[in-house]
Amino acid sequence: MKRRWQIKVTGIVQGVGFRPFVWRLAHLLGLTGLVFNNPQGVVIEAEGEISALEAFIRSLKADAPPLAVVESISWQEIPLNGDTEFKIVESQQDAERVVLISPDVATCNDCLRELFDPKDRRYRYPFLNCTNCGPRFTIIVDVPYDRERTTMAVFLMCPDCEREYHDPSDRRFHAQPTACPRCGPQVRLIVRNEKGEWQEVCQGDEAIKETALRLLKGQIIAIKGLGGYHLACDATNENAVKRLRQSKHREFKPFALMAPDLETVRQLVFLSPEEEALLTSWRRPIVLMRRRPNANVAESVAPRHRDLGIMLPYTPMHHLLMAEVKQTLVMTSGNLSDEPIAYKDDDAFQRLNKMVDAFLVHNREIHIRCDDSVTRVVKGQELLIRRSRGYAPQPVLLPFETPAPLLAVGAMLKNTFALCRNRYAFISHHIGDLDNYAAFKAFVEGIEHFKRLFAIEPQVVAYDLHPDYSSTRYALDYADEHDLPAIGVQHHHAHIAAVMAEYGLEGPVIGVAYDGTGYGTDGTIWGGEILLATYESFERAAHLEYVPMPGGEKAVREAWRMTASWLRQTFGDDGEQLSFGIDERVGRERWKQIWNLLRSDLPQPQTSSIGRLFDAVASLLGVCDFGAYEGQPAIWLEMAAAQWASKFGDWGMGTGDWLKESFGQPPFAFGITDTKPIIMKATPVISGIVEALKQKLPVEQIAAQFHAAVAEATLRACIKIRKRTGTNKVVLSGGVMQNVLLLNLLVDLMQDEGFEIFIPTKLPPNDGGICFGQAAIAAKQISS
């Protein structure tokens, strides 16, 4: 006997080929009815025998398209309609939207075959795509996701594309960005002529081939991509890479690379199966991997780094270009250092024109900027560094529902924000550092775009306690303007809560939150924190001892200032004579002035930051005195330590033998007090480092010993907390946890002691994950 069921499917089911999949499945099972998109997802009305309907329901999730994420399937019986066919009908709009939107997707294998098939009508067309790949998030203006609500609306389809678009059996059925050379976007090359004016020299395939030739001749070219402009040059050409560094005002920070294929990647780095899986995934992130000693890239690509950040081509234009150059390119964001990536054409020409020799552009508008994502593998798991293209705006699920829609504005650096409803946290693409006006403008515009896209009107706002953060001021102004409650969340509590929420942990947990800066509840700068945390509250169970930050924010960029502070903390005024060459490197007068400041009665910010301690040690060892980018001294210290640790095998794995063999003498250790909170005293470590320098031990060995000392002190403090509280779950988060050597040490040591360890995998451990923790804490607060 026939039945008719109305079936509702929620999740990422728009723009991923779900409706044609439903159409084909219905035809296979002999069902009639219809399917359409609505703002909640996909609605199906299917009519047929009950056995066929049950098989249909089972297959909807089991056999869904690869890019679909089916969150829920519900159904109810409705009256028979007597349909004679199954069809796809137009999308519907109504008041409440909870549709999930797909991120941008790398070119699929089917499209790649067409791209290089001379018999195909889209042969070498740089904008081909289908239901399974292509732009999504960066071109969507509104939902439901249909062509007229994307930036492809201006391109009227030719008869052939129109036919494919309306044929449910075709791979391009309702592929909203679909196009071909006759009707779609076009690419063109613009160069500076003899008069210094910009002019177009060629279009289409000729433009891509000419771009390749110019890159191989050492030129720097701005290339308009999926979520913004890249600056590209030949990665093997030292002069070109140096010139790009000078143009971007980016002295030391490593450049991202794009390799033409996996074989090239294997020649550049040691590639694990997990790293290969990330590289070739449809997300196509930049993956940080250990470089080979003979890697064929210019020295200026990643100065003093053991790692290279590499991605594979992810758009048809990339594939065409890389097939022409046949070697690795630098492919870095199109901006000056610390600015947001350029994505609008006029802005790109204004900001980038003095940095490049040519522009490879196209006329498909980018609606919202989206940087490349950056990730790596630690202990066989993904550890995100920057979550953006390929990941955003996929939601991360909260372990509980928020009683009211809320906005969590994140932190100041590496900003992301979250808009939340029910269990969904829609976390933004990477915004950047909000002390830059253009980044703050992008932050404000991004919030409005997400509000519109997901139809979320916040009723609660969560923010960081730091009064000088731009995100905090925005949150308080927004709450005041809309008469909403505003919930302040301590920075390190948010770090820990983000990981708790990812794993669905109830708490209490021992939360190790190590970073550079976070505003404490006592008005000081925290950053070496071990918390006993639930969502509702936290106890500061242990922390690094306080030291002054001479010069305040200047000490963040100038690591040598923190060296002076720690030397005085350890040796008193005698520490001034223990500079080990710092006074010569920074200038004797400046060294003397900072000591006069430390001896004075002038108020100075106090900090318990592990990040600042890493800075101090980096300068004391002569590794790095000034940070040209965030975290540089600590990163270079890790690189030095890794050189020593690598003598004992793979520095990213098994640390037991490494710890025993690496020292050559008893290691220096932190003092751990029996107070509440526990104070981790670093003065014995500074004293030990000074003694090691006097003995002229290798800097790399001392750097490795320091890492081991931090890990060992953390372990001892956690053991004391476990003994007092019985808590065995340990969460590791904060920007310092991007230090792979330290993270591996911590995990190995703690697991050996029976702790259960939790590391973030869906969000970065740095401030890019803060908003999720803010959201979880705020949701719990308004629930109680």
Q: Which DSSP string do the residues of 144-196 spell out, in sequence order?
A: S--GGGBGGGGSPPPHHHHHHHT-TTSTTTT-TT---TTTS--EEEEEE-TTS
Calculate mean pLDDT across residues 690-696.
96
User: Rg of the Cα trace of the chain?
Assistant: 28
Identify the band that residue 352 occupies on the pLDDT scale cut at 50, 70 and 90. very high
pLDDT(747) > 90: yes
**Edge-to-edge order in the sheet of strand 460-464:** 418-427, 396-408, 460-464, 486-489
pLDDT(264) > 60: yes
Measured from the Cβ of residue 336, the count of other Cβ atoms closer than 10 Å reads: 17
Model pLDDT for residues 527-582, shown as the tens digit of each residue:
999 999 999 999 999 999 999 999 999 999 999 999 999 999 999 999 999 999 99
Q: Is 0.75 surpassed by the pTM of this model?
A: yes
DSSP string over 319-338: HHHHHHH-S-EEEEESSSTT
Identify the band that residue 168 occupies on the pLDDT scale cut at 50, 70 and 90. confident
pLDDT(660) > 70: no
**What's the chain's length in residues?**
784
For residue 36, which phi and psi values (nearest 5 degrees)? Answer: -155, 155
Identify the band that residue 95 occupies on the pLDDT scale cut at 50, 70 and 90. very low
pLDDT(643) > 70: yes
Q: Which of 174, 203, 16 is nearest to 102 (CA)?
A: 16
Distance CA 358, CA 214 (A): 9
Residue 137: in which H helix or E strand, if any?
A: none
What are the start-end ranges of the H helices in 695-755? 699-725, 740-752
Distance CA 158, CA 123 (A): 16
pLDDT(471) > 70: yes
Calculate mean pLDDT across residues 659-673.
68
pLDDT at 93: 63
Calculate mean pLDDT across residues 81-110.
82
Model pLDDT for residues 307-337, shown as the tens digit of each residue:
999 999 999 999 999 999 999 999 999 998 7
Residue 45: in which H helix or E strand, if any?
A: strand 41-49
pLDDT at 215: 98
pLDDT at 71: 87
Model pLDDT for residues 196-229, shown as the tens digit of each residue:
889 999 999 999 999 999 999 999 999 999 999 9
Check residues 101 and 4 and name the one with the higher pLDDT.
Answer: 4
pLDDT(658) > 80: no
Angle between helices 491-503 and 770-783 (to 10 degrees): 80
Distance CA 685, CA 670 (A): 6
607-629 per-residue burial string, b: 16 or more CB within 10 A, e: under 16: bbbbbbbbbbbbbbbebbbbbee
Model pLDDT for residues 113-138, shown as the tens digit of each residue:
999 999 999 999 999 999 889 999 99
Identify the band that residue 73 occupies on the pLDDT scale cut at 50, 70 and 90. very high
Tokens 């030095």 locate to: 640
Model pLDDT for residues 411-423, shown as the tens digit of each residue:
999 999 999 998 9
pLDDT(659) > 70: no
What does the DSSP 8-state code read for residue 3?
A: E
pLDDT at 645: 84
The pair of three-digit structure tokens given for residue 243, joined into one six-digit string? 């010139």
pLDDT at 621: 98
Angle between helices 559-571 and 588-599 (to 10 degrees): 50
SS3 at position 361:
strand
Calculate mean pLDDT across residues 398-427.
96
DSSP string over 202-247: EEHHHHHHHHHHHHHTT--EEEE-SSSEEEEEETT-HHHHHHHHHH
Q: Which residues contact 159 (CB under 8 A, 6 or more apart)?
A: none
Q: What is the mean pLDDT of the chain?
A: 94
Calculate mean pLDDT across residues 394-401.
93
Q: Which of 628, 638, 634, 592 is nearest to 612 (CA)?
A: 634
